[in-house]
Structure 1
């Protein structure tokens, strides 16, 4: 059973609705996906309900939680947890508020740098209850201040750049504990992109269940190294595209990076 375990919707910084994501996955011919929006679970139910109604694909409940460790952004993926619990609702609501506050401050910082940009312009590109850096980046492209979303991040929005504002997040330990307390599986997202291997081993020490080995930005060397770590540390190896609905190299990422769930008993049992 082929699953893409890292997919975003427009409930965070993806372009497609949950229904559209499910339809794209069907077109791609895979057996299932995980909805893993940033710091929110609000898109999960629509995707699951639709998938059950059409009975053509399986949707796993997931989330991507952003953390900060040693001045580096670290993302943790959670799967199969109780996404309707009060605990996850309370935590993600506070994270949403933190993200909106950060987004407002970044727009203000951009104006301080001499570029005119309104909050309304950014909100037109997203749901009004969510503001992510990709939405700010797209607004800057629309204004003609940069030529691409990548340029916006490189020049202005990445950590250490002039318009970057830190936001309040969970710690790695808090994120792992939250996922486990809700009977979920905790995975370190795209570890091949981390600056420091210390962070990877810190997550293992703190009880992570596995590593996202297959990812659209991982090299073969990344994959070989991470597979070895999984073998040595008795961790599960997962994978996904990290699709946000953009066309890259002529196609959508969804379905191009995946794992066979039959090879991951911890997940296969949950399905």
Structure 2
């Protein structure tokens, strides 16, 4: 059995819609999955409806939120078992999606001033109403022949530290953790070894962190084991997923990361326990 708790759909920067991802997940043998889009819960209802129609596959409501550490580093927080209809969450997501558009506009302006053939209209066309991200900028560059692939766009032009990278204006990590809790969910730090924020975990635990994405597809076997041990030692849940997007050239496959299927019961139990605690039960 397999679970994948980090998948992206067209509601943010993935290539497939929610129903298709559920169908793909079932075909891949997943027993549970979570579509954790960037600053969007737009695919949660459709994914759960398709899973219910098919039967045999559990879908957890999820979201991926951007935050910053005190030193300015980027931190991604996964929220699991959140209430997609939470008013505070919906307001936050709306604000962050607007910031994503502003960021893309700044990035496009930088690229265009350097002579790259790109327009904001092309970026928005790739986003197709979803949460705008750097992947959509990369896809527009690929379309116009500026770069051969999405990966090349990140490596050469718009990745962190590259000449046309533009940071997002996001809240601090503690505020994002609080927001996830307010929406009834568990806050999990995403791909900490990939993001280079391993040293921040204890600080985030003090801020209320509930889990670590230990079994990320891009973590090495040794990193997965070490992070799973760290989660156990700190009393946190160890989650995992593929970070699947599905664009040409992406190497992640659904189910990659090899998270144990027992993590689902642990997440749900912890979310229920938190809800009882918050309600004074």
TM range (shorter): over 0.9
C-alpha contact (below 8 Å) 2:237/2:263 kept by paired residues: no
Residue 241 of structure 1 corresponds to which residue in structure 2? 242
Question: Could you tell me how far apart the structure 1 residues matched to 2:68 and 2:183 are?
Answer: 22
TM-score by length of 2: 0.90
Q: Distance in 2 between matches of 1:63 and 1:18?
A: 13
Residues 259 and 198 of structure 1: CA distance in aligned 2, closer, same or farther (over 3 Å): closer
Q: Counterpart of 1:5?
A: 5
Listed as ranges, the gaps of 5+ residues in structure 1 are none
Q: CA RMSD in A?
A: 1.9
- 1:36 alignment partner in structure 2: 36
CA–CA distance in structure 2, aligned partners of residues 124 and 253 of structure 1: 26
Whether the 8 Å contact between 1:6 and 1:242 is mirrored in structure 2 is yes
- What's the CA shift for 1:261? 3.7
More off after superposition, 261-270 vs 133-142: 261-270
- TM-score by length of structure 1 reads 0.93
Residue 154 of structure 1: how far off its partner (Å): 1.6
1:121-270 to 2 correspondences below 5 Å: 121-246=122-247, 253-263=253-263, 265-269=265-269
What's the CA shift for 1:170? 2.3
Corresponding residue number in structure 2 for 1:47: 47
Give yes or no for contact 2:117–2:141 (8 Å, CA) kept in 1: no
User: By how many angstroms is 1:252 displaced?
Assistant: 5.6
Distance in structure 2 (CA, Å) of the matches to 1:264 and 1:22? 17
| Displacement of 1:117 | 0.9
Deviation at 1:162, TM superposition (A): 1.6
Residues 265, 43 of structure 1: CA spacing in aligned structure 2 closer, same or farther, 3 A cutoff?
closer
Deviation at 1:232, TM superposition (A): 1.9
The answer to whether the 8 Å contact 1:261/1:267 transfers is no
**Are 2:42 and 1:60 equivalent residues in the alignment?**
no
Compared CA separation, residues 215 and 67, structure 1 to 2 (3 A): same
Q: Is the 8 A contact 1:241 1:257 kept in 2?
A: yes
SS of the equivalent of 1:238 reads: strand
Q: Distance in 2 between matches of 1:183 and 1:268?
A: 11
2:264 & 2:149 partners in 1: Cα distance?
38
TM superposition shift of 1:49: 1.5
Q: CA deviation at 1:25?
A: 0.3
Q: Which moved more, 1:146-155 or 1:183-192?
A: 146-155
Classify the secondary structure of the residue corresponding to 1:260.
Answer: coil
Cα shift readout 1:69-116 (whole Å, capped 9, x = no counterpart): 223211110000111111111110001000011111111110111112
Q: 2:60 is paired with a residue of what secondary structure?
A: strand
Give the number of aligned pairs.
270
Moved more, 141-150 or 72-81: 141-150
Specify the SS of the correspondent of 1:125.
Answer: helix
In the alignment, the residues of structure 2 paired with residue 148 and residue 110 of structure 1 have an alpha-carbon distance, to the nearest angstrom, of: 16
Q: Is the 8 A contact 1:9 1:15 kept in 2?
A: yes
